[in-house]
Structure 1
Amino acid sequence: MRAVAVLLLLLCTMFIDSAAHAEGGCPPGMIPEGGQGVMSCRPIPGYDQGKQQQPPVEWASKWGAIATDATTGSLGAVNGASSANRAEEGAIADCRSKGGANCKLQVSYSNGCGVMVLGNKVFNAKSAATIEEATRKGIAQCSAESDGCHVYYSGCSLPQRIQ
């Protein structure tokens, strides 16, 4: 009787062990394929049928711009515009609304950030993917020509998910 129980336990262990390795280490929805020491995984036919496919994610580019009037010190900025032209025109209009008569575009950027850096003798505008990166660029250029460099303005125009 004891020998029969041991034999049954051994058979059950073998069955459980073979069931655990049935997928051959393949991820869900895949089955092993190959031979002679070469093994790969292939999709199980019909596995994804009935599952809803997700639509692709779509993004709309957003633009920003910075304009200044060096004579009056006026600064205009726009973020979140739908085109470069709208951002640039908006920044110049914002600069003029703050007293600038000779507003000039300093930088425009898409899906990123812009900064205006001021020093004792110079100013510059830089753009990059992040505020930190744009700041690094602006401070580096300013520091090469002036003392007292600091960020006067920063803003971002990040892409907007539309689907």
Structure 2
Amino acid sequence: MLLTVGATHAEGGCPAGYYPIGAPSGQSGPQGCAPIPRYNQQPFQPPQPQPEWVSRWGAIATYAPAGILGVSTGRASKSAAEQEALLDCKLRGGHVCKIEIAYDNECAAVVVGDKGYNVNTDATVDAAVQYGMRTCRDAGASGCHASYTACSLPVRIQ
């Protein structure tokens, strides 16, 4: 057998990725070239599923007369977070503990000063502390400091 090596041309004189169109029958050569649909395209890939998130709850309970704090984070429901915070407060010696705040998918801070305390939430611990410090100072308190911080952020499930 005789093998020959030479340049390869697309059918009908069209460049790669095109096909000849419009040549009248009996005449040589195309009148034009048209693109081949989906030539050189990546194979179809289905879109990736969007991530799914579930909320996580935290809560802070206090027994103010003794300065006792009960906390919980990362719970699946508001009621579970509140129950755990109340129990934590009671286990630390609180007699009549009350829920100060329940929060989901954010951070919390308890800021204490010589005139009392405040509880705040925000997207980050730093933001919650800054707001609490400003509230404390605006109340004319001194010795303002964050005594507790935590976050209960959503959890990706898919």
TM above 0.5: yes
Which residue in 1 is equivalent to 2:80?
86
**1:116–1:125 contact (8 Å) kept in structure 2:** yes
Q: How many residue pairs are counted as aligned between the two chains?
A: 121
Deviation at 1:144, TM superposition (A): 1.6
Aligned partners of 2:149, 2:129: CA distance in 1, in Å? 8
Structure 2 unaligned spans of 5+: 1-36
1:150 aligns with 2:145: yes
> Identity over the aligned pairs, expressed in percent?
41
**1:112–1:157 contact (8 Å) kept in structure 2:** yes
1:139 aligns with 2:133: yes
Deviation at 1:53, TM superposition (A): 2.9
Deviation at 1:50, TM superposition (A): 3.7
1:100 aligns with 2:94: yes
**1:110–1:157 contact (8 Å) kept in structure 2:** yes
Aligned partners of 2:38, 2:94: CA distance in 1, in Å? 68
Aligned partners of 2:130, 2:44: CA distance in 1, in Å? 51
**1:67–1:95 contact (8 Å) kept in structure 2:** yes
- Higher CA-based Rg: 2
Mark the CA change 1:111 to 1:45 in structure 2 (over 3 Å): closer, same or farther: farther
Which residue in 2 is equivalent to 1:51?
45
1:73 aligns with 2:61: no
Aligned partners of 1:106, 1:151: CA distance in 2, in Å? 16
Letter in 1 for 2:90: R
Give secondary structure in 2 for the equivalent of 1:75.
strand
Q: Structure 1: which 4+ aligned runs deviate by more than 4 Å?
A: 44-49
Q: TM-score, normalised by structure 2?
A: 0.71
1:121 aligns with 2:115: yes
Aligned-residue RMSD, C-alpha: 2.0
Give secondary structure in 1 for the equivalent of 2:65.
coil
Aligned partners of 2:106, 2:142: CA distance in 1, in Å? 27
Structure 1 unaligned spans of 5+: 1-43
Give secondary structure in 2 for the equivalent of 1:133.
helix
More helix by share: 1
Letter in 2 for 1:111: N
**1:113–1:128 contact (8 Å) kept in structure 2:** yes
Aligned partners of 1:115, 1:135: CA distance in 2, in Å? 6
1:110 aligns with 2:98: no
Aligned partners of 1:125, 1:45: CA distance in 2, in Å? 60
